[in-house]
Structure 1
Amino acid sequence: MGSEHSDVAPLPAAFKILVAGGFGVGKTTLVDTISEIAPLLTEEYLTDESVGVDDVSGVEGKNTTTVALDFGRITISAELVLYLFGTPGQQRFAFVWDELAHGAIGAVVLADTRRLEDAFGSIDYFEQRGMPFVVAVNCFDGAKVYQPDEVEQALNLDPHVPVRLCDARRRDSVKEILVALLEHVMSAPQPA
């Protein structure tokens, strides 16, 4: 009676990654681009009530915003699955971050050089919690391109924090960012 189920494949290891950054930086686009499933998006239209609350300078064409989270999944191999959780970008939704961060192994901080100061809140959040992160500079059409070392200096990052240029609309570019994050997480000192 105690038959063995040797033909049952083991479940893959699943890891949670946050995608954070300022309003309009491309977090939803990044999750949507890489997810192998139809992502869960909590996008709502900007309304007249958000005028004066949401700073749309530099992203005037933006007409929606994430109000809770974006969720996607990518299978790296039979042994490894990543779950991506995109955070809301506005300060008024910051209360959601602690719940989303619970159990995450690391984060991607998406930055826009046209509004680089918007990345500071995310960087501070992960630094204060000791969570490994990479900075991914989303290269928007028509925006000046800066080198990673210039961004590192402008954001006053520790030299061990990887900074990469990316295009959140391109799957191969997002893959490179996730690989950089996983390498960074694996090389980070483990708590004693």
Structure 2
Amino acid sequence: MVFVESDRSGGELHVPTPVKIVIAGGFGTGKTTLVNSVSEIPALHTEEVLTEASVGVDDVVGLENKETTTVALDFGRITINTEVVLYLFGTPGQNRFWFMWDELAHGAIGAVVLVDTRRLDSSFPSIDFFERRGIPFIVGVNCFDDAHGYAAEEVRSALDLGPGVPIVLCDARDRESSKSVLVSLIQHTMDRLDAMA
């Protein structure tokens, strides 16, 4: 769907259809990095420095080098063509900011749940969130350099995911790899719509 309006000269002005995608996951899984790697604009971040105040509140085990954290959202944009623009909304990962997730997910066509195999337990709340709301999602396994490599089916079993949830191995730092994750989500969402038609 393309919105058509009149510009000041009386000609038609085509406004592309906005498509909203949520990038979610646990604390420190690489959501901000993924949005950064694919956004065509300088991504908007609400990053704050981790301080002593977060000790005992945020679980930083395995993330000792993490210095900042998202406290509201990350935002990026990708223009597909003159008719479609993707808007990426990255969620904060800590439990104390989960009150924002409903707003961030409202109107989204789907979500990427980014996981870190070193901390798989942090992924369950994100998966539950989208399953309970019936929002299509895929799992993106962010392959960190110091993480043990697992096959997609091993991750599926560990996360207790059904066969209908795509799992994509990726490197959130790499633009092409991150684009592949988004393409997989869009294909998954389209397949679900076709099945419901």
Amino acid of the structure 1 residue aligned with 2:189: V
Q: Which residue of 2 aligns with 1:48?
A: 52
Give the one of 42, 50, 54 matched to 1:38.
Answer: 42
Give TM-score, length-normalised by structure 2: 0.92
1:75 Cα offset (Å): 1.0
Give the one of 164, 169, 172 matched to 1:168.
Answer: 172
Report SS of the residue matched to 1:183. Answer: helix
Tell me how far apart the structure 2 counterparts of residues 61 and 9 of structure 1 sit (CA, whole Å).
48
Report SS of the residue matched to 1:42. Answer: strand
Q: What's the RMSD between the two structures over aligned residues?
A: 1.4
- Map Cα deviations across residues 66-108 of structure 1 (whole Å, 9 max, x no partner): 0000000011122211000000000000100011111111000
Give the one of 62, 66, 74 matched to 2:66.
Answer: 62
Give TM-score, length-normalised by structure 1: 0.94
Q: Which residue of 2 aligns with 1:104?
A: 108
Amino acid of the structure 2 residue aligned with 1:84: L
Q: Does 1:184 align with 2:188?
A: yes
Give the one of 136, 141, 146 matched to 2:140.
Answer: 136
Report SS of the residue matched to 1:159. Answer: coil
Give the one of 95, 99, 103 matched to 1:91.
Answer: 95
Q: Which residue of 1 aligns with 2:127?
A: 123
Tell me how far apart the structure 2 counterparts of residues 60 and 27 of structure 1 sit (CA, whole Å).
17
Tell me how far apart the structure 2 counterparts of residues 191 and 94 of structure 1 sit (CA, whole Å).
30
Report SS of the residue matched to 2:14. Answer: coil
Q: Which residue of 2 aligns with 1:150?
A: 154
1:10 Cα offset (Å): 2.1
Amino acid of the structure 2 residue aligned with 1:61: N
Tell me how far apart the structure 1 counterparts of residues 51 and 84 of structure 2 sit (CA, whole Å).
40
Matched residue count: 188
5+ long unaligned stretches in structure 1: none
